[in-house]
Chain A
């Protein structure tokens, strides 16, 4: 029979032969871990390098400007040869204003859409809406910047006549719109991964769907939700193009949202594009500002880790 014929060879023998050939080239097994380690090391070293550069250049900046002035002076006015002032507070204020507005816009909308998608939407609409959200998250930020300047600002000026062309409100709202899909999508992932058995348990006690969403699913997914919000806020803090285009370049310490501002990122853009010479105080100042920005996002991340650990509901 044909089948018997084809079975006449021994699989074991073939494996042994192949193995012999392999062990000659078994070097792959040995060097592969090193290659993989190297690639991992590249990214770690790059990060360390960036942080070190930041620290060194920041130190050079503080040779020229006192730490006290940097943190307490109320004016950021570096473009003066004689009486320049390097107080970071106005730039921090700009960043905070924009970030808080963005969070006020993005957190409620993002969470509400996440709840809708995970608890109410049919499979079909979820399959349609989620990819759209992810496309929104991929739009280049310069596009959002012009959207803020040429579309949102004019509309806002209809409502608030005193609004300046460059202001905190418009870029804040647009950054909020930008990070909403991210918060919605990541929170939705966290909520969808809450086991259905928990929803059933709550429904069987006579809960309405909304009670299940708010009192069972949301707390169970809270660590993922907080992570998504922090990621969103970190992006808002670090966002550059939108504020550079629509926020203006007037650092100030006012609480006013309608006047021109400057954020930390926008300042770095301004100096990088200008002709501040290497070695000047202005040149080093962008590293000090960058360092501050880095500390901000670092603190945000640590805070997020703490909160997620503190409020985690394990299942």
Chain B
């Protein structure tokens, strides 16, 4: 009996691995505590949504996952975040190595002021891939992956800033795919986009989750409900509730979660 449960456990582990295991994470901006004792396990090849009102720490948390938060002066952390079993908050963890594995899409589209081609090729190039033929393939594959290839294939050498906001955001996703990351972090990726572009990005996320683990911060609860498998509700720097998205939106356990998703505040 015991052995069979043990094998069942192992099978279970093999099926779904934990990508990020956050334990007792605290974070301060100077004297201000922005995150309090965060404990979250994020699974691979799933979409995990993080929702919560402004200032609840959701953006802070996602930026901690690739240590972009270090760009803010005076940030301190304690606790640990294991990414594939290694603590990324450990100073010995090379931040460039982490960010090569963990891509990020930002709130506002931020393509480089270069051609569409150069935007996508930038990542592979800085990591040493110089072969023009291989780069061509990477660019096409990434742009296809971001569902924008058909719109830009005839103008790869034009400046990325000639694209619409929605196209720019998908280009940024393509740029991120070009280095074949393991995880994609999305920090309110559709908040600056119109409804149609938003829909396209959401469809894209559905496609991408087959290959990547996606963590998405969103202001839009319907979006979280539509696209994510699990949802974490943040409030004042704490995780109030974290479970299957269905459950959070139908039978939330915590009164505060219910108040938030029914629009009583936030």
Chain A residues within 8 Å of B, Cβ to Cβ:
195, 197-198, 200-208, 211, 215-216, 219-220, 313-315
Contact = CB atoms under 8 A, between A and B. Distances in A.
A215 B123 CA distance: 11
A211 B110 contact: no
A219 B122 CA distance: 13
Lowest 9 CB-CB distances: which A-B pairs, in order?
Answer: A313-B113, A206-B100, A197-B110, A315-B113, A204-B104, A206-B99, A205-B123, A201-B110, A206-B96
Interface string B72-113: 000000000000000000000000111110011010101111
A203 B123 contact: no
B127 interface: yes
B112 A202 contact: yes
Contact of A206 (B159, B161, B179): B179
Given A204-B68, A205-B122, A206-B179, A198 B127 contact: no
Nearest to A197: B110
Contact of A205 (B100, B108, B159): B100
Given A197-B106, A204-B66, A219 B99 contact: no
A195 B96 CA distance: 21
Given A200-B68, A201-B110, A216-B112, 11 more contacts: A197-B106, A200-B106, A201-B112, A204-B99, A204-B104, A204-B106, A205-B176, A207-B126, A211-B126, A219-B113, A313-B114
B122 A215 contact: yes
B242 to A, nearest CB: 25
Contacts of A205: 99-100, 103, 122-123, 126, 175-176, 179
A208 B94 CA distance: 10
A219 B106 CA distance: 22
A200 B185 CA distance: 13
Nearest to A207: B126
A211 B127 CA distance: 10
A204 B126 CA distance: 12
Contacts of A315: 113, 161
Contact of A200 (B71, B103, B123, B161): B71
5 contacts: A201-B106, A205-B100, A205-B103, A314-B159, A314-B161
A205 B180 CA distance: 11
B123 to A, nearest CB: 4
A219 B114 contact: yes
A203 B99 contact: yes
Contacts of A198: 110, 112-113
Contacts of A203: 68, 71, 99
B146 interface: no
Nearest to A312: B113
Nearest to B101: A206
Nearest to B125: A215
Interface in B140-175: 159, 161, 172, 175
Contacts of A219: 113-114
Contacts of A216: 112, 122
Among B66, B71, B110, max chain A CB count under 10 A is at B110
B66 to A, nearest CB: 6
Contacts of A220: 112-113
Contact of A314 (B113, B123, B176): B113
Interface string B54-72: 0000000000001010010
B126 A215 contact: yes
Nearest to A216: B112
Among A197, A201, A204, A219, max chain B CB count under 10 A is at A204
B92 to A, nearest CB: 17
B231 to A, nearest CB: 24
Nearest to A220: B113
